[in-house]
Amino acid sequence: MTDVKQLPEAFLKEMEQLLGDEYEAYIKSYEEAWKPGLRVNTLKIMPEEFKNLSHLELTPVDWTEKGFYYEDTERPARHPFYYAGLYYLQEPSAMAPAQFLQARPGERVLDLCAAPGGKSTQIAAQMKGGGLLVCNEIHPARAKILSENIERMGIRNAVVTNETPERLAERFSGFFDRILVDAPCSGEGMFRKNEEACGEWSLENVEMCAERQDTILDSAQQMLRSGGLLVYSTCTFSPQENEGSINRFLDRFPDFTLVNVDMPEGFAAGRPDWVPGGREELVRTMRLWPHKIRGEGHFLAVLKKEGSVSETERMPVRRDGIKGLSVKEYADYLEFEKQYLTIRQEGIFIAFGDQLYLAPQGMPPLKGLKVLRPGLHLGTRKKNRFEPSHALALALKPEEVRFSCDLPSDSREIYGYLNGETFREDVGVYREEGGKGWHLITADGYSVGWGKLAGGIMKNHYPKGLRKNWSC
């Protein structure tokens, strides 16, 4: 935990001014232990099932039924369930913005500032595999992490881009039903658990962040359809970046209104009096304070764009969609699917070199954009054969494959598999005995990767870049 003495003096002075009688309670929150959280991935498992299965001591997060606190002494990132994508480690207050976005199956949704992926994966779970989710991150290294987390959670309908908001706005004008802007900010809500955030803070940085937020919101509104929903959030306490950003946005775009939502217990209303010319409806924005909830702090606002679009008008025009491969061009995959899967994949087959992807239906052309993941990575097209990807394994359930091998989540064998080791055919429980070739390897029934059975040995196809020297 960060010592109060490490907090910037100018920040403390401003907080004392803003909070008044609450200031002491806020400062005292720095003495309290940080409570880490995780969110259950409902694409793979329901919260009650996970609670019964998990080894963790879990306490529910009040504002989402999928979120839980766990003890700081526990290490959920060292368990096979983490690599199976059953949960995402996420600060509890950061679970709130996507909760209020309430994305639905079949919609077009954009997470504009998406890395490292907590909110994107939460949105994907809401969409239940239906519709199109575009996850964007401007910084290449962070975009890579975002793509990896999308893969780990087994998400099939997500596209990951590495673009500026302005470039996306040129391509996706009026395209999305819902947009989340979890904007880059001065990070005051991270001070309790992150000493480095304190060192990076300055009044000049607050000003710079506010200007950048205005620019990002300008692009976001351009991409939202009439009647669409925009959720804006930050992990800072600065009025200039919070109520101020929304006030300036409404000045520029009067066709937006703040939605009046039910606030969970402990959430505080926004403060119009903290910004010059603050309009009264800013009380509909929400503040999460560490001295009022068990979380580090957040700000969020739910905005709606005037107008509406009929379902017919909203549907993509066929000629505007991305052009897929011919059946002949992915025939090797179809042979793999016929031999090893019990389902038929639906979507648009596209190729990036020798890599085969399944793009979500309704995806527009991506030519000219920096794309890290144009959909579900199916695998590699090789001469006369197809090799399935790790992403495909994590997106599949045991009942969706012909052959699988289940290992106990607390066994030496599953940790050995995650380390890259092979194992004998007589290890594990098989879905279908006697099957040769590709097997989905599972931990207590949840997919973690591929193995290939030959000559009585299960060859390990867990990606080398993910292998660690785990011990059971």
- Catalytic residue IDs: 235
CB atoms within 10 A of CB 238: 28
Please state, in angstroms and rounded to a whole number, the distance separating the CA atoms of residues 92 and 334. Answer: 42
Nearest residue to 324 (alpha-carbon basis) of 355, 351, 354, 353 = 351
Please state, in angstroms and rounded to a whole number, the distance separating the CA atoms of residues 288 and 306. Answer: 28
Nearest residue to 3 (alpha-carbon basis) of 29, 35, 37 = 29
Contact assessment for residue 107 and residue 131, using Cβ atoms and an 8 Å cutoff: yes
**Phi-psi map region of 356: left, alpha, beta (phi>0 left; psi -120 to 50 alpha):** beta
Helix (H) or strand (E) holding 225: strand 224-234
Contact assessment for residue 287 and residue 269, using Cβ atoms and an 8 Å cutoff: yes
Nearest residue to 300 (alpha-carbon basis) of 268, 325, 329 = 268
Helix (H) or strand (E) holding 437: strand 437-443
CB atoms within 10 A of CB 296: 24
Residue 267 is encoded by which pair of tokens?
């959430």
Contact assessment for residue 343 and residue 363, using Cβ atoms and an 8 Å cutoff: no
For residue 382, give Cα distances in angstroms to 116, 168, 334. 32, 33, 13
Q: First CA to last CA across the chain, in angstroms?
A: 30
Residue 332 is encoded by which pair of tokens?
């090797």
Please state, in angstroms and rounded to a whole number, the distance separating the CA atoms of residues 339 and 401. Answer: 9
Q: Which residue has the tokens 């606030």?
A: 263
Cβ partners under 8 Å of residue 279, min gap 6? 247, 250, 272
Nearest residue to 67 (alpha-carbon basis) of 294, 272, 251 = 294
Nearest residue to 230 (alpha-carbon basis) of 111, 140, 341 = 111
Which residue type, as a one-letter code, is found at position 104?
A: R
